[in-house]
Amino acid sequence: MASILAVDDSASMRQMVSFALKNAGHDVVEAVDGQDGLQAAKANKVSLVITDVNMPNMDGIALIKELRNLPDYKFTPILMLTTESAPHKKQEGKDAGATGWIVKPFDPDQLLATISKVLG
Amino acid sequence: MAIDITQFHETFFEESFEGLDIMESGLLNLDIGAADNDTINSIFRAAHSIKGGSATFGFTDVAEFTHGMETLLDEMRDGTRDVTQKSVDTLLQSVDCLRELLAAARDKTPVDSERVAVVHKSLEKILSSEGGSNISTENDEHNENSQTESISERSGWKINFKPHHDMLKTGNDPVRMFRELSELGELTVIVDISQLPTLADLDPEESYLSWDLTLKTDVEIDLVKEVFEWVIDECDLEISEIVSSTDDTAMSSETQDRENEQGTENISSEPSSQAKRQVAKPGVTEKSTASTDSSASIRVSIDKVDALINMVGELVITQSMIGQLDCDFDDFDNSRMEKLRDGLTLLERNTRELQESVMRIRMLPISFAFNRFPRMVHDLCQKLDKKIELRTTGENTELDKTVMEKIGDPLVHLVRNSIDHGIEMPQARKETNKPETGVIELNAFHKGGNIIIEIKDDGAGFNKDRIKNKAIERGLISSDEHLSDDKIYDLIFQPGFSTAEQLSDISGRGVGMDVVRRNIRELGGNIDVTSEEGKGTTFTIRLPLTLAILDGQLVCVGDEIFITPLVSIVESLQIKKEFVNNIAGQTELYKVRDDYIPIVRMHEMFGINVEKKSLEGGLLVVVEGDGKKAGLLVDELLGQQQVVIKSLETNYQRVDGVSGATILGDGTVALILDVDGLIDLSRNTSAPNNSPDNSVLAVA
């Protein structure tokens, strides 16, 4: 299965996302904020990135921009996890290069359904 | 496959409570009028995380409540709303409320919904007031997009999809979308390659293709739109209805607009409404795992655990090293003896290190106890119209968890006292040439195997005469008694002593200080106070690092071995007859330099038969407890060692003069002396007229 990077500063969300993904047979790399996520992405070539938007140190939008600048991640699907259903946040993410978003609250099944679409 | 998300609840609660602490301290640090963006951001983030988590994990009431806070914070963050005292106060109240809501959700207990409603209302009042944009209640816009097309006739959708050049750069693959569409029905895909440049001009990262798709299905248009939701701004999309048995004429063509947002909201609102139903009747949830006792767990940093594992590794090596010695004792030569000794030395070191590592696991930074004070100072200042700045140092000083839990209340009491009685009103301070804003300092640091906590204020200080008069009034001392400063300050720790001219509901009726001292003594610590009138007061609390292990001096009385806490031993000396004085024929005092200290004959105290009963040439261990000294008469000083304290009360019963017991290396049980208790005990037996309360005052 795929290797996936999950970036979220909330331990419970990270736990849930990671658990759900691992349960579905994926390899999961976890990171606690954008900076950590960027390091993790450089160290492991993953085939999907799921990132929270609001995080300390480096937020999700900045992470997406950074990732898109890396040759390895030019076309890698990147999903934002966001509670902000405000269109401008999604737009900001899209402009930064996000593939799409998953709106919180979601349950593990919704998450898996979404990522299976992206991973094909 | 369904995943049970309740397993993440504990983490969620843990981080949410941490988030609340962050919010609280952030709010307290906000400068009204000129708020620092980073701080607001961190407060916002915490609220945001709580909201996201609570919605995900099904705590709808928490999520709804947090939404208002988040909106307000978001406006502050954007700069569309000024940071006012009122909004900060409301946010602080909201933090309290949220804490209750979360605790109720965790413990599955009911909440004070009236209070929550009140705070919620004041939050909404602020939100609807001037100075901010209107509240975006995303729930309001629940979709009215009921499609009115005649369903019966429809046989599918015709889709024209033309990605913009850079769509691929967001990781969106058209094939993925087609695959998704094909799951909705029978899909025919026709590609238009007319825009494809020659190979020489082709940029492989760009998209040049467009597609005409025919989807034979009876699903609603929303589901079709959803497939393109993420790329709606990166393509030209036209979806039109195919009406059955006719040609491809579009009956109702619809170009995409922002409406599609509602597609996501629809989905997201589903689980939360389900969750609402579950939460609404908490008693019914079959999975109510017995209310988790959160205090039973402890968070330990990985470093500490790693250190522990390292230790265990070394222990295993040492064990195998000793094990390799051939245990044939008939042929045990010197070289092996040497190795055995080395091994045992190593083992001793390992054991000590292991012990220290294990102890460290129980240690928490004292910030756990300090964190509640900024809020308390803030609230009390508002209530009393005082201006106080709180400074803390040494927040990272670590303290045993049990000590930490028990020191919380005494600290609160002392800080409250400083705020209420110590720091003067701004006007009064001005008149005495002090800055209007008073300062309370909380300092924590290590000193000689102890933790010291200082509570220091630059307030009015103690009025010695007033304390004395009050003590006379209360009959604690006689009016002609001459007391040193220390003794006067000591009076405030007497039960029922209060000098506050006006009783207030903040520091209460002065019943606390004796309790404060008792609590601290129960932890094996003590408290001192120094004060200067007009300058301020400092309380100094001394606490042992841990409650479980004690550095002890082993002493021998007859056949019995006792353990004296090393910290309370001042010196040990051999008795010389000429320094022994008898008072009133009963109390024996020993002159140590300029001090006279009472002699406690241990064998009498514990009813032990000893051969040698005369004082001459005997050993006197001078101990100090709570400012009082005494000399313990013992037969012999043995070694010093660390002992593990076992409670006597749980296994036997409380014995005066004994704080606990331990098991020695040879398996025998030895009692650990309670020096304070022993001194009091000796006073009461030797001077029966003194009540325990003023024994303090009778000490030389």
Say yes or no: B346 and B390 in one domain.
no
Distance from CA of A22 to the nearest CA of B (A): 11
Per-residue model confidence as pLDDT tens digits over B618-627: 899 999 876 7
pLDDT at B250 over 50: no
Task: Choose among B49, B205, B272: nearest Cβ to A10.
Answer: B49
ipTM of model: 0.82
C-beta atoms surrounding B507 within 10 Å: 23
Task: Choose among B11, B168, B176: nearest Cβ to A12.
Answer: B11
Which residue has 């409301």 as its token pair?
Answer: B90
Say yes or no: B536 and B582 in one domain.
no
Please tell me the total count of domains within chain B: 5
Backbone angles phi, psi at B225, to 5 degrees: -65, -35
CB of B51 within 8 Å of a chain A CB? The answer is yes
Partner-chain contact B168 A75, CB within 8 Å: yes
Cα distance between residue A47 and residue B316, in whole Å: 42
Q: Are B450 and B527 in contact (CB under 8 A)?
A: no
* Greater pLDDT, B524 or B287: B524
Cα distance between residue B517 and residue B628, in whole Å: 15
Cα distance between residue A86 and residue B98, in whole Å: 24
- The single-letter code of the amino acid at B573 is L
Q: Identify the closest residue of chain B to A109 by CA–CA distance.
A: B2
Say yes or no: B574 and B669 in one domain.
yes
What is the CA B493 to chain-centroid distance, rounded? 29
Partner-chain contact B15 A74, CB within 8 Å: no
Cα distance between residue B162 and residue B256, in whole Å: 13
CB of A69 within 8 Å of a chain B CB? The answer is no
Say yes or no: B94 and B35 in one domain.
yes
pTM recorded for the entire structure: 0.55
Interface of B with A in 196-225 (CB under 8 A): 205
Which residue has 């300029």 as its token pair?
Answer: B594
Say yes or no: B340 and B370 in one domain.
no
pLDDT at B201 over 90: no
Cα distance between residue B102 and residue B62, in whole Å: 7
Partner-chain contact B12 A85, CB within 8 Å: no
pLDDT at B541: 92
Please report residues of B whose CB lies closer than 8 A to that of A118. 171, 176
Partner-chain contact A19 B7, CB within 8 Å: yes
Say yes or no: B559 and B662 in one domain.
yes
Say yes or no: B578 and B684 in one domain.
yes
Identify the weakest region by mean pLDDT among A80-89, B144-153, B643-652: B144-153
pLDDT at B138 over 80: no
B605-640 burial, b at 16+ Cβ within 10 Å, e below that, comes to bbeeebeeeebeebbbbbbbbbebbbbbbbbeeeee
Cα distance between residue B99 and residue B294, in whole Å: 14
Distance from CA of B339 to the nearest CA of A (A): 47
Q: Are A46 and B82 in contact (CB under 8 A)?
A: no
Average pLDDT on B412-421 reads 88
Say yes or no: B160 and B200 in one domain.
yes
3-class secondary-structure state, position B457: strand
pLDDT at B294: 44
Percent of chain B with pLDDT over 70: 81
Enumerate residues 6+ apart whose C-beta is below 8 A from B196: B202, B208, B209
Backbone angles phi, psi at B167, to 5 degrees: -60, -35
End-to-end CA gap in chain A: 11
Partner-chain contact B51 A106, CB within 8 Å: no
Enumerate residues 6+ apart whose C-beta is below 8 A from B83: B30, B31, B32, B33, B35, B40, B76
- CATH number for the domain spanning B420: value is 3.30.565.10
pLDDT at A6: 94
pLDDT at B329: 62
Q: Identify the closest residue of chain A to B50 by CA–CA distance.
A: A10
Partner-chain contact B15 A11, CB within 8 Å: yes
The 3 state secondary structure assigned to B640-657 is EEEEECECHHHHCCCCCC
Which residue has 């990135």 as its token pair?
Answer: A49
Say yes or no: B521 and B553 in one domain.
no
Interface of B with A in 108-167 (CB under 8 A): 136, 138
CB of A71 within 8 Å of a chain B CB? The answer is no
Partner-chain contact A10 B52, CB within 8 Å: yes
Give the pLDDT band of residue B252 (cuts 50, 70, 90): very low
Structure tokens at B140: 């309001």
pLDDT at A24 over 70: yes
Mutation site, A18, A57, A76, A83, interface B, largest B CB count within 10 A: A83
Partner-chain contact B176 A110, CB within 8 Å: no
Interface of B with A in 277-296 (CB under 8 A): none
pLDDT at B388 over 60: yes
pLDDT at B214 over 50: yes
Say yes or no: B556 and B475 in one domain.
no
| Among the listed residues B290, B48, B504, B385, the one whose alpha carbon sits nearest the alpha carbon of residue A59 | B48
| Among the listed residues B625, B563, B613, B562, the one whose alpha carbon sits nearest the alpha carbon of residue B588 | B613
Map out the domains of chain A with their CATH numbers.
3-119 (3.40.50.2300)
Say yes or no: B490 and B565 in one domain.
no
CB of B393 within 8 Å of a chain A CB? The answer is no
Q: Is residue B588 part of a domain?
A: yes
Per-residue model confidence as pLDDT tens digits over B574-591: 998 888 888 776 778 898
Interface of B with A in 313-352 (CB under 8 A): none
Q: Is residue B284 part of a domain?
A: no
Burial category of B674 from C-beta neighbours within 10 Å (exposed 0-12, middle 13-18, buried 19 and up): buried
Partner-chain contact B170 A94, CB within 8 Å: yes
Q: Which of B489, B513, B544 is the last residue of a domain?
A: B544
Strands (E), B575-689: 580-583, 587-592, 595-601, 619-625, 628-634, 636-644, 658-663, 669-673
Per-residue model confidence as pLDDT tens digits over B397-408: 888 888 888 888
What is the CA A32 to chain-centroid distance, rounded? 11
| Among the listed residues B370, B444, B456, B445, the one whose alpha carbon sits nearest the alpha carbon of residue B419 | B456
Give the pLDDT band of residue B292 (cuts 50, 70, 90): very low
- CATH number for the domain spanning B233: value is 3.30.70
Partner-chain contact B136 A86, CB within 8 Å: yes
Q: Is residue B615 part of a domain?
A: yes
CB of A101 within 8 Å of a chain B CB? The answer is yes
Segments forming the whole domain that contains residue B318: 302-361
Question: For chain B, what is the mean pLDDT?
Answer: 78
Cα distance between residue B399 and residue B420, in whole Å: 28
Partner-chain contact B56 A15, CB within 8 Å: no
Which residue has 């070191």 as its token pair?
Answer: B349
Give the pLDDT band of residue B326 (cuts 50, 70, 90): low
| Among the listed residues B97, B155, B147, the one whose alpha carbon sits nearest the alpha carbon of residue B122 | B97
pLDDT at B53: 87
pLDDT at B685: 61
Give the pLDDT band of residue B275 (cuts 50, 70, 90): very low
Q: Within 13 Å and on the Cβ side, how many CA atoms surround B194?
A: 6
Length of chain A, in residues: 120
pLDDT at B339 over 60: yes
Task: Choose among B56, B138, B173: nearest Cβ to A105.
Answer: B56
Q: Are B678 and B600 in contact (CB under 8 A)?
A: yes
Average pLDDT on B2-22 reads 86
Say yes or no: B539 and B554 in one domain.
no
Average pLDDT on B556-582 reads 89
pLDDT at B478: 80
Distance from CA of B342 to the nearest CA of A (A): 45
Average pLDDT on B116-133 reads 77
Partner-chain contact A75 B45, CB within 8 Å: no
Length of chain B, in residues: 700
What is the CA B488 to chain-centroid distance, rounded? 36
Identify the weakest region by mean pLDDT among B75-79, B373-377, B533-537: B75-79
**DSSP code string of chain A:** --EEEEE-S-HHHHHHHHHHHHHTT-EEEEESSHHHHHHHHHHS--SEEEEESS-SSS-HHHHHHHHHTSGGGSS--EEEEES---HHHHHHHHHHT--EEEESS--HHHHHHHHHHHH-
CB of B66 within 8 Å of a chain A CB? The answer is no
What is the CA B278 to chain-centroid distance, rounded? 31
Cα distance between residue B114 and residue B94, in whole Å: 13
Per-residue model confidence as pLDDT tens digits over A25-65: 899 999 999 999 999 999 999 999 999 998 888 999 999 99
Q: Is residue B145 part of a domain?
A: no
Size of interface A-B (CB pairs under 8 A): 130
Q: Is residue B271 part of a domain?
A: no
Q: Which of B544, B577, B609 is the last residue of a domain?
A: B544
Q: Is residue B244 part of a domain?
A: yes
Question: For chain A, what is the mean pLDDT?
Answer: 89
3-class secondary-structure state, position B639: strand
pLDDT at B282 over 90: no
Give the pLDDT band of residue B113 (cuts 50, 70, 90): confident
Q: Which of B311, B346, B361 is the last residue of a domain?
A: B361
Cα distance between residue B338 and residue B244, in whole Å: 99
Partner-chain contact A83 B48, CB within 8 Å: yes
Please report residues of A whose CB lies closer than 8 A to that of B267. 103, 110
Task: Choose among B14, B56, B258: nearest Cβ to A13.
Answer: B56
Q: Are B128 and B135 in contact (CB under 8 A)?
A: yes
Q: Is residue B643 part of a domain?
A: yes
Partner-chain contact A99 B233, CB within 8 Å: no
pLDDT at B499: 52
- CATH number for the domain spanning B692: value is 2.40.50.180
Partner-chain contact A105 B11, CB within 8 Å: no
Partner-chain contact B2 A109, CB within 8 Å: yes
Partner-chain contact B15 A12, CB within 8 Å: yes
CA distances from residue B415 to B29, B111, B390, B451 in whole angstroms, order as listed: 19, 30, 10, 18
- CATH number for the domain spanning B36: value is 1.20.120.160
Q: Is residue B293 part of a domain?
A: no
Cis peptide before A105 (omega within 30 of 0): yes
